[in-house]
Structure 1
């Protein structure tokens, strides 16, 4: 019986193609979710939330929507189960800024609003503890 013989170069090319396909399939099967830990996600979320202004309408055309806040969206996905669609990202962006995701912010905000003596100092502490987005959402 006579078999099919392939040149050595063809065998090498086929093997490399198989390896590339295996690597690509592994990459795509890993999923689209963020690969950061909960601790890292919490750190990123707390670090970036105060830097973002309170925006009610954020669209994919908004300059800050893109790569600048990719880690923020990954963290939001990880912590709050927000999906990666544009509308969900917009909601996450709004919630972060306006304090809706942080019940502790809302509680402290209520305390400051009803603080009988030094409201200014209370709101300064609120900003220090929860960020400018939380403080702005109180008014």
Structure 2
């Protein structure tokens, strides 16, 4: 369940990355013009934000509530709390990545900025996976 939630966010993130790729426009006006062409990266990224809604996708909290029901206050592993904390960090960093990507498209952020934001989200996902594996070890001794 926890791993499936991570996979969901990884897919959402990778879909956005595939759209952004290395497409940069000269300025905000060029981005606005590009949005009128549904095949442009600008229009596709706007569509991605509207349809996948990474900024408001908090489904990991539902997953946490479901997974947490398997434990009592006496046997709840610290790893499940670590998982929800790390997923919260990941979500915050995913939102930051979306905003950096928008700024990257309009050339107000650099490739290095985009790369840094990308690396942070990836690291968050790796940490959440480690937490999920630790929870799984407690569930299946």
* TM-score normalized by the length of structure 1: 0.28
Higher helix share goes to which structure? 2
The higher radius of gyration belongs to: 1
